[in-house]
Amino acid sequence: MFAKYRQAFLVGLQGNLVYRWNFAVRGFFSLFHLAVVVILWGAASEGRTELGGFSLNQTITYFITLLVLQFFISAFNEDYQISEEIRNGLINQFLLKPINYFAYRLSIFVAARLVSGLLVFLPLLIALPFLRQYLAFPAHAAPYAFGVPAMIMSAMIQFSIAYCFGMLTFWFLEIQGFVILSMAFETVLGGQMFPLDLLPKWAYDVAQWLPFYYQMYFPAAIFTGRITETSAILQGYAIQAAWVILLLLVNHALWTRGLRRHTAVGG
Amino acid sequence: MLHYARIWLASARYSITRTLMFRGDFFVWALVELFWMTVNLLTIAVIYEHTESIAGWRKYEMILLVGTSLLIQRFLMGFFWSSIFEMGRNIRSGSFDFFLAQPGNVMFMATTRKLDPDSLVNSLIAAAVVVYAVRQLGLEPGAAQIALYCLMVACGVIIHYSILVLSISIAFWLTSAQGIEGTYFTLTEFSRLPRDAFKGLVTRWLFVYALPVVVVSNTPAKTLISGFDWRLGLWLAAAAAGWFGLAVFVFNRGLRRYASASS
């Protein structure tokens, strides 16, 4: 049963290793982004000991964690790949074989993120002498233990959203506009521009109910000690799990409905 | 000159007709850009909820800076981006032949062919952000100051244009310039930072002078806030001329290597 997806995973691993330089270069460019973060937030907290209750080092550690998470759990171009496969008719072969397209794609996603996630440590290691002075990770084990399940569910949310956008190809010829529009939301509400706890309280409360919060911010905030209360973490898990289930249902619905519109031509 | 103006007008007319054909696309993309501009302004607003100054810049001064940086970027996107972006692909596929056969300078023909009306619409919004910040700061710039501001923005657009042409020209040597446009976006992130935030000697030298992305937005913004700084202004104008010259040189060098492609 799982053997075929293991094969897909291995193929994905090989396929992504081909692009190892591409990922490494992207990683190196993220260092420029990190430089912007250090300069901007450093200048903002000049003459102050804290910003929204956290020290400058904690804030920068948050952005470094975000960077690592991005390469480990974000969907990069899965939406476009799925879109291409639908447009080119490559999905036709999955309709004839006993293989689940979602599971197949997920296996490749896991392989791809394993490769890019490990590769991002390369530029980070090189920048370590410079970054070391800013690192302020929690000293005890609990945040890491709590963070891992959140991270796995975040990866599921990331992938499911990308899959949904890919499925839209059944209805629209071009999905790029939707993807970039949603990226703007993800960037802000996922906490990539600033840690969400800096938002006014009402906005933060609203953000907590949206899926974007659980795409990136939630695990990053646990890992870096910005969310510490067990009750808050458990509540977060519950909302996150609800979003995972909801998105999986939407994925399934889009797939079955999309297929009804799909016409396979040629052989 | 008139000849080129006529060619440009013909391309502009073609681009606008095309946009009218794909109205839905126009709205989606205009919205996308609007959202991204909001993302940048929102970040500034949130940071200033927790601090009074970033490297000595107050909130509306910072909004003026970000607005200026967005304005320059919108102009670049509106007038040149699509053409330059496609240039990279055309060099790879060999479709670049098309531009060699056209009645005019190849660099001009290849980089001004398509306008993006959605970016141009958003440049109005970026300009409105600048005006709003100027009002909030209680500034009353004179006609000369506004003229200098516009001139500095124009220099900024020339510098961005040249850097973009330079990076895509790599395709002449490497064939594939895919992903290189990403570098450009990384660099523009720096243009939203105040010059005074660059403390270290290396970062200051690298981003303020060697790659003039920071001066590009800071000089016009400072012109409105505290008057025109001749030294910076001249530096920016010289940088614009220098980078443009370099872009023309590299582009023409690359053109000599261009060997088309067979299908």
Written in H, E and C, the secondary structure of chain A is: CCHHHHHHHHHHHHHHHHCHHHHHHHHHHHHHHHHHHHHHHHHHCCCCCCECCECHHHHHHHHHHHHHHHHHHCCCCHHHHHHHHHHHCCCHHHHHCCCCHHHHHHHHHHHHHHHHHHHCHHHHHHHHHHHHHHCCCCCCCHHHHHHHHHHHHHHHHHHHHHHHHHHHHHCCCCCHHHHHHHHHHHHHHCCCCCCHHHCCHHHHHHHCCCHHHHCCHHHHHHHCCCCCCHHHHHHHHHHHHHHHHHHHHHHHHHHHHHHHHCCCCCC
Closest by CA position to B221, among listed B158, B166, B157, B145? B145
Q: What whole-number distance in Å separates Cα of residue B100 and Cα of residue A111?
A: 44
Q: What is the pLDDT of residues B157-187, one digit of tens each?
A: 999 999 899 888 888 887 665 666 677 777 8
Q: What residues form DSSP beta bridges with A54?
A: A51
Task: Give how far A114 is from chain B: nearest CA, Å.
Answer: 21
Res. A266 pLDDT band, cuts 50 70 90: low
Chain B within 8 Å of A42 (Cβ-Cβ)?
Answer: yes
Mean pLDDT confidence for A194-210: 94
Token pair 């929102």: residue: B42
CA-nearest residue to A52 within chain B is: B50
Residue B165's CB: how many other CB atoms inside 10 A?
A: 23
Q: Where are chain A's structural domains? A: 3-261
Looking at residue B177, its pLDDT comes to 59
Q: What residues form DSSP beta bridges with A51?
A: A54
Pick B32's closest partner by Cβ from A41, A181, A198. A181
* ipTM of the complex in this document: 0.85
Q: Is residue B96 part of a domain?
A: yes
pLDDT score of A267 more than 50: no
Looking at residue B263, its pLDDT comes to 46
Q: What whole-number distance in Å separates Cα of residue A186 and Cα of residue A158?
A: 10
Give percent above pLDDT 90 in chain A: 52
Mean pLDDT confidence for A146-169: 95
Closest by CA position to B222, among listed B73, B74, B55? B55
Pick A52's closest partner by Cβ from B50, B55, B194. B50
Q: Is residue B183 part of a domain?
A: yes
Token pair 């992903």: residue: B179
CB contacts of A181 in chain B (<8 Å) are 28, 31-32, 35
Domain that holds residue B64: 2-257
Q: Is residue B165 part of a domain?
A: yes
Q: What is the pLDDT of residues B184-222, one digit of tens each?
A: 777 888 888 898 888 877 877 887 778 888 888 999 999
The tens-digit pLDDT sequence of chain B (263 residues) is 888 899 889 888 988 898 888 888 888 888 888 888 899 999 999 999 999 899 889 999 999 999 999 999 999 999 999 898 888 888 888 888 888 888 888 889 888 888 888 889 899 999 999 999 999 999 988 899 999 999 999 999 999 999 899 888 888 887 665 666 677 777 888 888 898 888 877 877 887 778 888 888 999 999 999 888 888 899 899 999 999 999 999 999 988 888 776 54
Asked if A194 lies within 8 A of B190 by C-beta distance, the reply is: no
Mean pLDDT confidence for A139-167: 94
Q: Is the pTM of this model over 0.90?
A: no
* Structural tokens at position A167: 């499925």
Highest mean pLDDT among A17-21, A100-104, B24-28: A100-104
Backbone φ and ψ for A51, nearest 5 degrees, come out as: -135, 110
Q: What is the Cα gyration radius of chain B? A: 19
Mean pLDDT confidence for A121-132: 89
User: Per the structure, how many domains does chain B have?
Assistant: 1
Task: Give how far A94 is from chain B: nearest CA, Å.
Answer: 30
CB contacts of B35 in chain A (<8 Å) are 181, 184-185
